[in-house]
Protein backbone atom coordinates (compact mmCIF):
# COMPACT_ATOMS: atom_id res chain seq x y z
CA UNK A 1 0.00 0.00 0.00
CA UNK A 2 1.66 3.18 -1.18
CA UNK A 3 1.72 6.41 0.80
CA UNK A 4 -0.77 8.87 -0.67
CA UNK A 5 0.53 12.37 -1.39
CA UNK A 6 -1.93 15.10 -0.41
CA UNK A 7 -1.53 18.50 -2.02
CA UNK A 8 -2.64 21.70 -0.35
CA UNK A 9 -1.67 25.35 0.14
CA UNK A 10 0.98 26.28 2.69
CA UNK A 11 -1.21 28.40 4.97
CA UNK A 12 -1.86 27.13 8.51
CA UNK A 13 -5.59 26.83 7.74
CA UNK A 14 -4.99 24.84 4.54
CA UNK A 15 -2.64 22.47 6.38
CA UNK A 16 -5.22 22.02 9.12
CA UNK A 17 -7.89 21.24 6.53
CA UNK A 18 -5.67 18.61 4.90
CA UNK A 19 -5.19 16.97 8.29
CA UNK A 20 -8.96 16.96 8.85
CA UNK A 21 -9.41 15.03 5.59
CA UNK A 22 -6.57 12.64 6.43
CA UNK A 23 -8.10 11.89 9.85
CA UNK A 24 -11.42 11.08 8.18
CA UNK A 25 -9.73 8.79 5.67
CA UNK A 26 -7.80 7.01 8.43
CA UNK A 27 -11.13 6.12 10.03
CA UNK A 28 -12.03 4.35 6.79
CA UNK A 29 -8.63 2.64 6.52
CA UNK A 30 -6.37 2.92 9.61
CA UNK A 31 -3.44 1.35 7.72
CA UNK A 32 -3.28 3.96 4.95
CA UNK A 33 -0.38 6.39 5.20
CA UNK A 34 -0.24 9.96 3.89
CA UNK A 35 2.27 12.68 3.10
CA UNK A 36 1.19 16.32 2.94
CA UNK A 37 2.78 18.27 0.10
CA UNK A 38 2.46 21.99 0.82
CA UNK A 39 2.36 24.17 -2.28
CA UNK A 40 2.66 27.87 -2.95
CA UNK A 41 -0.03 29.42 -5.15
CA UNK A 42 -0.18 32.69 -7.04
CA UNK A 43 -2.83 33.97 -4.64
CA UNK A 44 -0.57 33.25 -1.66
CA UNK A 45 2.54 34.80 -3.18
CA UNK A 46 0.88 38.07 -4.17
CA UNK A 47 -1.25 39.31 -1.27
CA UNK A 48 -1.22 42.96 -2.31
CA UNK A 49 -2.99 42.82 -5.67
CA UNK A 50 -6.72 42.38 -6.08
CA UNK A 51 -7.58 38.81 -7.07
CA UNK A 52 -9.14 40.03 -10.32
CA UNK A 53 -5.73 41.44 -11.32
CA UNK A 54 -3.86 38.16 -10.85
CA UNK A 55 -6.27 35.66 -12.34
CA UNK A 56 -9.58 35.82 -10.50
CA UNK A 57 -11.25 32.79 -8.96
CA UNK A 58 -8.89 29.84 -9.00
CA UNK A 59 -5.64 31.60 -8.06
CA UNK A 60 -5.51 29.47 -4.90
CA UNK A 61 -6.29 26.26 -6.80
CA UNK A 62 -4.76 26.14 -10.29
CA UNK A 63 -1.17 25.45 -9.27
CA UNK A 64 -2.28 22.68 -6.90
CA UNK A 65 -4.39 21.22 -9.71
CA UNK A 66 -1.35 21.36 -12.01
CA UNK A 67 0.60 19.17 -9.59
CA UNK A 68 -2.35 16.78 -9.58
CA UNK A 69 -2.49 16.71 -13.38
CA UNK A 70 1.26 16.05 -13.52
CA UNK A 71 0.97 13.12 -11.11
CA UNK A 72 3.11 14.74 -8.44
CA UNK A 73 0.34 14.40 -5.85
CA UNK A 74 -2.46 11.84 -5.55
CA UNK A 75 -5.25 14.14 -4.43
CA UNK A 76 -5.77 17.71 -3.28
CA UNK A 77 -7.68 19.37 -0.46
CA UNK A 78 -9.16 22.80 -1.20
CA UNK A 79 -11.58 25.19 0.38
CA UNK A 80 -14.48 24.61 -1.99
CA UNK A 81 -15.18 28.35 -2.14
CA UNK A 82 -11.79 28.80 -3.88
CA UNK A 83 -12.62 26.35 -6.66
CA UNK A 84 -13.80 27.69 -10.03
CA UNK A 85 -17.26 26.78 -11.29
CA UNK A 86 -15.79 24.34 -13.83
CA UNK A 87 -13.01 21.83 -13.12
CA UNK A 88 -10.47 20.56 -15.65
CA UNK A 89 -11.96 17.64 -17.59
CA UNK A 90 -9.49 15.07 -16.21
CA UNK A 91 -10.13 16.04 -12.56
CA UNK A 92 -13.13 15.31 -10.37
CA UNK A 93 -14.51 16.50 -7.04
CA UNK A 94 -14.36 13.14 -5.27
CA UNK A 95 -15.65 14.14 -1.83
CA UNK A 96 -17.15 16.93 0.23
CA UNK A 97 -16.97 16.02 3.94
CA UNK A 98 -19.37 17.40 6.56
CA UNK A 99 -19.72 21.16 6.19
CA UNK A 100 -18.39 23.45 8.91
CA UNK A 101 -20.09 26.72 9.88
CA UNK A 102 -20.78 28.39 6.50
CA UNK A 103 -21.43 31.93 7.70
CA UNK A 104 -19.36 35.11 7.58
CA UNK A 105 -18.18 36.84 10.73
CA UNK A 106 -17.18 40.44 11.42
CA UNK A 107 -14.31 40.62 13.89
CA UNK A 108 -14.39 43.97 15.69
CA UNK A 109 -11.13 45.49 16.89
CA UNK A 110 -12.75 46.29 20.22
CA UNK A 111 -16.10 45.53 21.87
CA UNK A 112 -19.12 47.63 20.84
CA UNK A 113 -17.14 49.51 18.19
CA UNK A 114 -19.97 48.84 15.72
CA UNK A 115 -22.34 50.86 17.93
CA UNK A 116 -20.28 54.03 17.58
CA UNK A 117 -21.52 56.80 15.32
CA UNK A 118 -18.33 57.53 13.41
CA UNK A 119 -17.61 55.91 10.07
CA UNK A 120 -16.73 52.24 10.25
CA UNK A 121 -13.65 51.07 8.36
CA UNK A 122 -13.80 47.36 7.53
CA UNK A 123 -10.95 45.41 5.96
CA UNK A 124 -11.93 42.98 3.19
CA UNK A 125 -10.98 42.38 -0.43
CA UNK A 126 -14.17 40.43 -1.16
CA UNK A 127 -16.59 42.31 -3.42
CA UNK A 128 -19.36 39.99 -2.25
CA UNK A 129 -18.74 40.96 1.38
CA UNK A 130 -18.24 44.64 0.55
CA UNK A 131 -21.57 44.93 -1.28
CA UNK A 132 -23.52 43.23 1.49
CA UNK A 133 -21.80 45.13 4.31
CA UNK A 134 -22.73 48.37 2.59
CA UNK A 135 -26.36 47.30 2.87
CA UNK A 136 -25.94 46.71 6.61
CA UNK A 137 -23.90 49.79 7.55
CA UNK A 138 -24.88 53.08 5.84
CA UNK A 139 -21.64 54.84 6.84
CA UNK A 140 -18.94 52.40 5.81
CA UNK A 141 -15.50 52.55 4.26
CA UNK A 142 -13.99 49.32 2.97
CA UNK A 143 -10.22 48.89 2.89
CA UNK A 144 -8.61 46.12 0.80
CA UNK A 145 -7.29 43.37 3.07
CA UNK A 146 -6.05 39.91 2.06
CA UNK A 147 -3.94 37.18 3.58
CA UNK A 148 -4.18 34.32 6.04
CA UNK A 149 -6.25 34.69 9.20
CA UNK A 150 -3.29 35.74 11.33
CA UNK A 151 -2.26 38.42 8.82
CA UNK A 152 -5.72 39.95 8.64
CA UNK A 153 -6.14 40.07 12.41
CA UNK A 154 -2.70 41.65 12.81
CA UNK A 155 -3.41 44.26 10.12
CA UNK A 156 -6.79 45.05 11.67
CA UNK A 157 -4.96 46.11 14.83
CA UNK A 158 -1.89 47.75 13.27
CA UNK A 159 -3.95 49.75 10.76
CA UNK A 160 -6.58 50.54 13.39
CA UNK A 161 -9.45 49.28 11.28
CA UNK A 162 -12.86 49.00 12.90
CA UNK A 163 -12.93 45.35 11.95
CA UNK A 164 -12.43 42.70 9.30
CA UNK A 165 -14.53 39.86 7.89
CA UNK A 166 -13.59 36.19 7.93
CA UNK A 167 -15.37 32.90 7.41
CA UNK A 168 -16.60 31.22 10.59
CA UNK A 169 -15.35 27.86 9.33
CA UNK A 170 -11.71 28.95 9.32
CA UNK A 171 -12.02 30.64 12.70
CA UNK A 172 -13.52 27.47 14.17
CA UNK A 173 -11.00 25.10 12.59
CA UNK A 174 -8.11 27.21 13.90
CA UNK A 175 -9.78 27.72 17.32
CA UNK A 176 -9.76 31.52 17.09
CA UNK A 177 -13.16 32.42 18.48
CA UNK A 178 -11.96 32.31 22.10
CA UNK A 179 -9.16 34.77 21.22
CA UNK A 180 -11.22 37.45 19.44
CA UNK A 181 -11.95 40.78 21.19
CA UNK A 182 -15.49 40.91 19.77
CA UNK A 183 -17.32 39.44 16.81
CA UNK A 184 -20.66 39.42 15.02
CA UNK A 185 -21.80 36.38 13.03
CA UNK A 186 -23.84 37.45 10.01
CA UNK A 187 -26.99 35.57 9.07
CA UNK A 188 -27.45 34.44 5.43
CA UNK A 189 -29.92 37.28 4.89
CA UNK A 190 -27.39 39.80 6.19
CA UNK A 191 -24.50 38.38 4.17
CA UNK A 192 -25.01 35.46 1.79
CA UNK A 193 -21.84 33.32 2.06
CA UNK A 194 -19.51 32.48 -0.81
CA UNK A 195 -20.43 29.42 -2.85
CA UNK A 196 -19.14 26.37 -0.98
CA UNK A 197 -18.04 28.31 2.10
CA UNK A 198 -17.31 25.96 5.00
CA UNK A 199 -16.96 22.93 2.68
CA UNK A 200 -13.73 21.10 1.89
CA UNK A 201 -13.30 19.97 -1.70
CA UNK A 202 -11.29 16.77 -2.16
CA UNK A 203 -10.12 16.58 -5.77
CA UNK A 204 -8.38 13.76 -7.64
CA UNK A 205 -7.80 12.46 -11.15
CA UNK A 206 -10.90 11.00 -12.79
CA UNK A 207 -8.85 8.04 -14.04
CA UNK A 208 -7.85 6.97 -10.49
CA UNK A 209 -11.03 4.97 -9.99
CA UNK A 210 -10.00 3.10 -6.83
CA UNK A 211 -8.79 6.30 -5.18
CA UNK A 212 -12.02 8.06 -6.13
CA UNK A 213 -13.96 5.26 -4.44
CA UNK A 214 -11.80 5.53 -1.31
CA UNK A 215 -12.20 9.32 -1.10
CA UNK A 216 -15.96 9.01 -1.65
CA UNK A 217 -16.19 7.15 1.67
CA UNK A 218 -15.83 10.49 3.51
CA UNK A 219 -18.44 12.26 1.39
CA UNK A 220 -21.37 13.64 3.42
CA UNK A 221 -24.55 13.38 1.31
CA UNK A 222 -26.35 16.54 2.48
CA UNK A 223 -23.18 18.61 2.15
CA UNK A 224 -22.65 17.18 -1.34
CA UNK A 225 -26.18 18.16 -2.43
CA UNK A 226 -25.78 21.68 -1.03
CA UNK A 227 -22.41 22.02 -2.81
CA UNK A 228 -23.93 20.81 -6.06
CA UNK A 229 -26.77 23.34 -5.86
CA UNK A 230 -24.51 26.27 -4.95
CA UNK A 231 -22.04 25.43 -7.69
CA UNK A 232 -24.88 25.07 -10.18
CA UNK A 233 -25.89 28.64 -9.38
CA UNK A 234 -22.25 29.75 -9.77
CA UNK A 235 -22.01 28.00 -13.15
CA UNK A 236 -25.24 29.62 -14.34
CA UNK A 237 -24.00 33.03 -13.23
CA UNK A 238 -20.55 32.42 -14.71
CA UNK A 239 -19.28 33.57 -11.32
CA UNK A 240 -15.83 35.02 -10.87
CA UNK A 241 -14.12 37.64 -8.70
CA UNK A 242 -15.36 40.47 -10.91
CA UNK A 243 -18.99 39.62 -10.30
CA UNK A 244 -20.00 39.74 -6.60
CA UNK A 245 -21.96 36.52 -6.14
CA UNK A 246 -22.89 34.29 -3.23
CA UNK A 247 -25.07 31.25 -2.65
CA UNK A 248 -25.91 29.10 0.35
CA UNK A 249 -28.14 26.03 0.61
CA UNK A 250 -29.22 24.43 3.87
CA UNK A 251 -31.84 21.88 4.82
CA UNK A 252 -34.02 22.82 7.80
CA UNK A 253 -36.21 19.92 8.92
CA UNK A 254 -37.46 18.56 5.58
CA UNK A 255 -37.26 21.78 3.60
CA UNK A 256 -34.35 23.28 1.67
CA UNK A 257 -33.55 26.98 1.96
CA UNK A 258 -31.56 28.61 -0.83
CA UNK A 259 -30.05 32.07 -0.42
CA UNK A 260 -28.44 33.85 -3.35
CA UNK A 261 -26.78 37.21 -3.84
CA UNK A 262 -25.72 38.93 -7.04
CA UNK A 263 -24.43 42.32 -8.14
CA UNK A 264 -23.97 42.54 -11.90
CA UNK A 265 -20.68 44.41 -11.58
CA UNK A 266 -18.47 45.98 -8.87
CA UNK A 267 -20.45 49.24 -8.91
CA UNK A 268 -24.00 47.84 -9.04
CA UNK A 269 -26.23 47.46 -6.01
CA UNK A 270 -26.69 43.81 -5.17
CA UNK A 271 -29.87 41.85 -4.59
CA UNK A 272 -30.68 38.88 -2.35
CA UNK A 273 -33.26 36.13 -2.82
CA UNK A 274 -34.35 33.52 -0.28
CA UNK A 275 -36.25 30.53 -1.66
CA UNK A 276 -37.71 27.45 0.02
CA UNK A 277 -38.66 24.08 -1.43
CA UNK A 278 -38.08 20.35 -1.51
CA UNK A 279 -35.76 20.29 -4.55
CA UNK A 280 -32.64 22.36 -3.92
CA UNK A 281 -31.38 22.11 -7.51
CA UNK A 282 -34.67 23.62 -8.70
CA UNK A 283 -34.22 26.40 -6.13
CA UNK A 284 -30.78 27.14 -7.58
CA UNK A 285 -32.32 27.38 -11.04
CA UNK A 286 -35.07 29.67 -9.77
CA UNK A 287 -32.53 31.91 -8.05
CA UNK A 288 -30.63 32.21 -11.33
CA UNK A 289 -33.83 33.12 -13.19
CA UNK A 290 -34.69 35.78 -10.59
CA UNK A 291 -31.23 37.35 -10.40
CA UNK A 292 -29.68 36.55 -13.78
Whether residue 82 lies in the annotated active site: yes
Task: Note the pLDDT tens digit of each residue in 275-292.
Answer: 999 999 999 999 999 998
Cβ distance 35 to 4 under 8 Å? yes
**For residue 292, is it within any domain?**
no
Q: What is the predicted pLDDT for the residue at 60? A: 76
- Could you say which of 44, 74, 82, 104 is catalytic? 82
Q: What is the CATH number of the domain that holds 116?
A: 3.40.190.10
Percent of the chain with pLDDT over 70: 91
Confidence grade of residue 111 (pLDDT, cut at 50, 70, 90): confident
Distance of alpha carbon 101 from alpha carbon 167, whole angstroms = 8
Q: What is the predicted pLDDT for the residue at 104? A: 98
**For residue 265, is it within any domain?**
no
**For residue 268, is it within any domain?**
no
Confidence grade of residue 54 (pLDDT, cut at 50, 70, 90): very low
**For residue 15, is it within any domain?**
no
Question: What's the domain range around 175?
Answer: 104-185
Number of compact structural domains in the chain = 1
**For residue 220, is it within any domain?**
no
Q: Is the pLDDT of residue 41 over 80?
A: no
Amino acid sequence: MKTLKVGTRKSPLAMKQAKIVIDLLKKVNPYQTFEIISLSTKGDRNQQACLTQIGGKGVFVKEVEHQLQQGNIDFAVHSLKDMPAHLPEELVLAATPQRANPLDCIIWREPAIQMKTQKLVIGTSSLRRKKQLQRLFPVLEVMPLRGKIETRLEKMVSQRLSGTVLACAGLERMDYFSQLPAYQILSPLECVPAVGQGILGVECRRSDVLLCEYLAEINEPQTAIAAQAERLFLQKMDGDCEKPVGAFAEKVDHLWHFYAFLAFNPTAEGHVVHLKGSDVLSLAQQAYQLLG
